[in-house]
Structure 1
């Protein structure tokens, strides 16, 4: 009887999942038809594939979905991922993560995975993440209402909340994050190696059989991998590069180091100065704080990091395409534009009395004063959500760093730092909603410990020892 009852429950559950998958497929199909002005034979062929993928999202093991999403970001050409209306408001990959949340929270599905999960800890930093994330969300809603709830602001708020904040509603995603971390390192290494190969060959490398992407007319050839722009590729690769090198530094395992270095090589090959600077600063900060994580017994790895950094700096400074681009007219024009964006951003921010003109509106607000693009995500936020919104966002990022480092995870904290610096060099947050999901992945990695106990560094000694002694004595 027990076996029969269990079989009935499984049958009902799978049947329910199938019904939900069919409904979901119908919604996505309707959205695709609405997004395309003139449906073609190619779309007719693609729809069955979309249907199969939609059903698979409900039938695959639930903990696979975040890892699959990051693999798609890294390896599937962005031009093949729908991004026009209605996917401009809720990006396709955010929908995939929404299915994951639906299965975990609403349907109550629990992943089956590793038995050696780390304990849930660092409650204070986790609380800070949820508090600052909630405050930023509340400010986005308030700003949207205050400025008239325009379509742009509503769409941007929905995209950011769905991509970056809602995944945190799954309060225990340790199994997902374990797999996500591993897949992120591997796809980052593959993407980085492919970009290096593109630089060497001057061609599409792994994507030779696919239709070509756009050309930006740079002074030097700048490969972009699966992304729409070299800047996007470089910003993404800062995450696996920092995580891999940071994980090696705290654990001594060589595989993360090799994978992280491949991602770092890809960053250099994009000739994206903001991302190169970002990974350099992140690893420099890592060199400063690493002794607190390593203790005195493992300072040999710290010395090796210093040597590795010196060699890397020399290699970057002598990298031919980077030198050629730095001496080009394009670079001089770019530098001139970037010098103008600070006073322009301050003028545009003052236009709303520093309270923001509404989420996602920095571009249209800045165009009231000049025609140049604000190539700085933080200045974009200053214009669109004002000083309060920018401070809430930075506090959210700071709490992610605190949460990761409180667990002894040096690499994820460095990844948050590196990615933040990278997107400060171009217009990512306000203009490219598909990139929001990377902040969601950083949040999951920071909040949930995805390292096996044997691969985790001890808590850094900078953590409140005096407070802990007081509490213990009490």
Structure 2
């Protein structure tokens, strides 16, 4: 035991030395360029960044993914640097990399999780194993595609970002505490930012983040036929995806825990989603919420078909209500809305032409724009079509199997909210260029993998989250506070 402890300490020291050396090397390469372009203001900013990075090594490891999600939600990608290495590894993704480094290399936080897998029947279910396997196969196929890319730098940068943001959480062990923090953080942010988006839509002005854009000289993003709230995300489509997932997550948790503030989070996230006037995301939120309702009934063993009929009726009423929403109707009938619909239709033709060009094996990760411009200048506003162009049919199929396995794992563990959340995400990304256009979005998929593969206890807020909150408030180890083991749908307590 003593020898293993000494060996572990030596590995930690060696890892910190290597990281320090890499930081010095990065500073020597990056700073001269940015000092020349932007002035010496870059130096104190670099010092602040180093201090922030050091802080990530001091805070509890289980809160780091929630910190990454918070940074993503409060700091729009358009205000963060995206040049050079930060194009391949966005700042929010770096935070997640630190979490994985501490969990895997430094072996921090794992001692309290030793009993998690053993205490959880089905902790390594076939669906969870399948997610990891399909994730690994997707990485290998994407890596091969890099070598046939017309722009290897773009493809390699995309693969680094997607691996660090989305795939890295798959190789971390049990992360139920991280999932509990993420669950709470996503709903808190969704509720508060949804309320802010509603105020923004009423005032037709983004008071806080609009002032930030003016301060740093960024142009106003409003160029649509109707005012579309963007809250803190810098673009209504990013805000809509975040709110759609928050709605699905909160509805699922409310249905399984009857938490009043989960319901409040669902309501305000839904209002925020509505005022983004994003048609694809509103559809995604409605479908995911309806799924959560039906799944919750099935998991509870509901036998009265009137409840299912009521759910279908509510879904129809919700869709009709969305269609009657004035801003939605105005955007749908506007010239700008019709152009957007036409561009999405044209994207299908471009994807088919690109598929024939590459024999359906893809032109390289992240190259949907490069390949698509060989046929027309239209933006491929569909992430699944972007994957089809970049990694071909095999890559798209592996991606779908990876996400689908995570969805079914959450469902098998009665985590209705997490399953509905990743369903909403999957529908949303098919409505705009999320994966190729905004690489920081890869982080959201990684967070959803943490939620779906390591779902908190069935009662959501009432158990796992309460345990995390109590631990934070009292200092008592979460292992002594968390709820008992979860029983998957396919199993029963003996």
**Which bracket does the TM-score occupy, shorter chain normalised?**
0.7 to 0.9
Of 380, 384, 395, 1:378 maps to 384
Map 1:101-112 → 2, pairs under 5 A: 101-110=100-109
Q: Distance in 2 between matches of 1:254 and 1:302?
A: 23
Map 1:18-417 → 2, pairs under 5 A: 22-23=20-21, 25-26=23-24, 29-30=27-28, 33=31, 36=34, 38-110=37-109, 119=120, 121-147=123-149, 150-207=152-209, 209-212=211-214, 213-214=218-219, 215-296=221-302, 309=315, 312-417=318-423
Q: Distance in 2 between matches of 1:246 and 1:413?
A: 8
2:437 is paired with a residue of what secondary structure?
coil
2:82 is paired with a residue of what secondary structure?
coil
Q: 1:52-77 deviations in whole A, cap 9, x for unaligned?
A: 20110111111121110001111123
Instruction: Give 1:290 shift.
Output: 3.0
2:241 is paired with a residue of what secondary structure?
helix
Map 1:5-24 → 2, pairs under 5 A: 22-23=20-21
Residues 399 and 31 (structure 1), Cα distance of their counterparts in 2 relative to 1, 3 Å cut? farther
Q: Distance in 2 between matches of 1:14 and 1:127?
A: 29
Q: Contact 2:435 / 2:442 at 8 angstroms: preserved in 1?
A: yes
Q: 1:15-65 deviations in whole A, cap 9, x for unaligned?
A: 889767755654564565367360324323322321220110111111121
Structure 2 length-normalised TM? 0.84
Q: Contact 1:21 / 1:58 at 8 angstroms: preserved in 2?
A: no
Q: Contact 2:68 / 2:92 at 8 angstroms: preserved in 1?
A: yes
Instruction: Give 1:394 shift.
Output: 0.5
Q: Distance in 2 between matches of 1:180 and 1:247?
A: 13
Q: Distance in 1 between matches of 2:114 and 2:107?
A: 20
Instruction: Give 1:317 shift.
Output: 2.5
Residues 301 and 61 (structure 1), Cα distance of their counterparts in 2 relative to 1, 3 Å cut? farther
Structure 1 counterpart of 2:428: 422
Residues 27 and 238 (structure 1), Cα distance of their counterparts in 2 relative to 1, 3 Å cut? farther
Q: Distance in 2 between matches of 1:377 and 1:21?
A: 34
Q: Distance in 1 between matches of 2:349 and 2:418?
A: 33
Residues 361 and 14 (structure 1), Cα distance of their counterparts in 2 relative to 1, 3 Å cut? closer
Instruction: Give 1:218 shift.
Output: 0.8
Q: Distance in 2 between matches of 1:17 and 1:138?
A: 26
Q: Contact 1:122 / 1:407 at 8 angstroms: preserved in 2?
A: no
Unaligned runs of 5+ in 2: 465-484
Residues 452 and 21 (structure 1), Cα distance of their counterparts in 2 relative to 1, 3 Å cut? farther
Q: Distance in 2 between matches of 1:374 and 1:204?
A: 28
Q: 1:235-269 deviations in whole A, cap 9, x for unaligned?
A: 12222211110111122222212112211211111
Q: Contact 1:290 / 1:302 at 8 angstroms: preserved in 2?
A: no
Q: Contact 1:356 / 1:385 at 8 angstroms: preserved in 2?
A: yes
Q: Distance in 2 between matches of 1:377 and 1:62?
A: 32
Q: Distance in 2 between matches of 1:412 and 1:294?
A: 17
Q: Distance in 2 between matches of 1:154 and 1:75?
A: 28
Residues 125 and 326 (structure 1), Cα distance of their counterparts in 2 relative to 1, 3 Å cut? same
Instruction: Give 1:164 shift.
Output: 0.5
Q: Contact 2:222 / 2:228 at 8 angstroms: preserved in 1?
A: no
Range with greater deviation from structure 2 (350-359 or 308-317): 308-317
Q: Contact 1:167 / 1:440 at 8 angstroms: preserved in 2?
A: yes
Structure 1 length-normalised TM? 0.87
Range with greater deviation from structure 2 (119-128 or 416-425): 119-128
Q: Contact 2:415 / 2:458 at 8 angstroms: preserved in 1?
A: no
Q: CA RMSD in A?
A: 3.4
1:356 is paired with a residue of what secondary structure?
coil
Residues 54 and 442 (structure 1), Cα distance of their counterparts in 2 relative to 1, 3 Å cut? same
Q: Distance in 2 between matches of 1:336 and 1:279?
A: 23
Q: Distance in 2 between matches of 1:350 and 1:115?
A: 50
Q: Contact 1:75 / 1:191 at 8 angstroms: preserved in 2?
A: no
Report the number of matched residues: 461
Q: Contact 1:77 / 1:226 at 8 angstroms: preserved in 2?
A: yes
Instruction: Give 1:402 shift.
Output: 0.8
